[in-house]
Structure 1
Amino acid sequence: MFLNKGYPGTSRDEVAALAAVSKQTVYKNSADTQRLFTEIIHGGLDRIDELFSDVTGSPAGPQDLEKDLTARARQFVTILTQPRLLQLRRLVIAEADRFPELGRTYYERGPERVHALLAESFEQLAGRTLLAPGDPVLAANHLTWLITSIPVNKVMFCGSGEHFTRAELDHCADEAVRVFLAAYRRDTQSA
């Protein structure tokens, strides 16, 4: 309901009807619409580690680094461009001024958490002399932005009706990894 009608357009009575529970149940379990909204957003964040665990783990060895990062990038863009996740992102952004703590929590438990996990992976790769990320968190931000900037920006600005084919998303991921490795792969020739 929040995703479809936004925060201001949603009432607890409508939530009760949609959930097929009594109004009393909704009123008993949530003090007000603001709290209900906050609880729903927080509930969606509890799955972040699970959702991105395969993407943020440590990639394979030197022969498979590009192939492995490409597979992970493709998986990442597929996850991040799921319509419900994009709707949730847009909703949190739209309500960030009204609920700054919720926006901060979403950022810390979502994008910032994913970047921290990727940074750990990049540090491992640096230890194996495969990458030279300098600032691993910044490198993680660079990679995720390279992967998702085109599809996410287009949907954020143009609405949920924008869709990308599998081939278009794969192309974004593949090129992101190519550019990322051009910047961050350790030069083994001079090492």
Structure 2
Amino acid sequence: MADRTTTRTARTKSAIFGAAEKLFLDHGYTGTSMDAVAELAGITKQTVYSHVGDKESLFLEVVDRMTGGAGDSLAARMVPPATVSSAEAYLVEFAEQQLEIVLTPRLMKLRRMVIGEHARFPALGQMLHRRGPGRSIARLAEVFETFAQRGLLKTGDARRAAVYFNWLVMGEPTNDAMLLGDDLLPGNAARRAHAEECVRIFMAAYGS
């Protein structure tokens, strides 16, 4: 009985967050009501409140789940740096995977929404940065320290090098998509070429 209850609760929450994500991304915080979330999820409004609290809590949780999910996906795809023989090959793969995971219409909508709601929810920007680029930079800094210890890179300040690499990879394509629209999101070939060029530039400064 307990397992069935847990499964039912998980399904209900999944429906709520799925509906809330779509509505918040399409209509923003102000334009989304808990009635609409309940209707789209196929449950009662009372059930929504009992599982997630109020609208503000639901909104913050949706943003947290979306940003954290992207980071989880990237971490799951990458091999442990201790097993790597080529820093250059690893970084090309890392950059390409990061571009594929982050540069999606869904996450670009999220970024625009967070910027639009910054005055109402100043903590949102901090959350997105911590769970998004902040997490990526922290992971890269650990990788660079490992590579430096193994003689694959000469980074000095590993975190500083991670900051430079992260924004070398993400800066231009993210800004293009944010400001000029999702049509500017790069395809597979463009992502690969951009990743290779960014790594070439980075290795010119930090390669062993």
Calculate the TM-score normalised by the size of structure 1.
0.86
Following the alignment from structure 1 to structure 2, what is the Cα–Cα distance between the partners of residues 109 and 72? 17
Structure-2 separation of matches of 1:169 and 1:46: 22
Aligned-residue offset at 1:48: 4.8
How many residues are aligned here? 184
- Pairing of 1:9-88 with structure 2 (within 5 A): 9-53=31-75, 54-55=77-78, 57-58=80-81, 60-61=84-85, 64-88=86-110
Conserved? CA contact 1:77–1:169, under 8 Å: yes
Aligned counterpart, 1:5 = 27
- The residue that corresponds to 2:158 in the other structure is 136
SS of aligned partner of 1:35? helix
Distance 1:49 1:95, change over 3 A: same
Give unpaired runs (5+ residues) of structure 1.
Answer: 187-191
d(CA) in 2 for partners of 1:86, 1:155? 7
Once structures 1 and 2 are overlaid, which stretch shifts more, 96-105 or 3-12? 96-105
1:124 & 1:130 partners in 2: Cα distance? Answer: 9
Distance 2:93 2:118 in 1: 33
Note closer, same or farther for the CA distance 1:162–1:10 as it changes in structure 2 (3 Å cut): farther
1:179 deviates by 0.5
Distance 2:112 2:55 in 1: 19
Instruction: Provide the C-alpha distance between the structure 1 equivalents of 2:153 and 2:181, rounded to a whole number of angstroms.
Output: 37
Identity %: 40
- Answer yes or no: is 1:98 the counterpart of 2:98: no
More helix by share: 2
Task: Give secondary structure in 1 for the equivalent of 2:59.
Answer: helix
Q: Which residue of 1 aligns with 2:10?
A: none
Partner of 1:178: 200
- Cα contact 1:74–1:169 (8 A) shared by 2: yes
Distance 1:124 1:170 in 2: 24
The C-alpha deviation readout for 1:69-109, integer Å capped at 9, x for no partner, is 21221111111112212222222232223212232122122
Match in the other structure for 1:127: 149
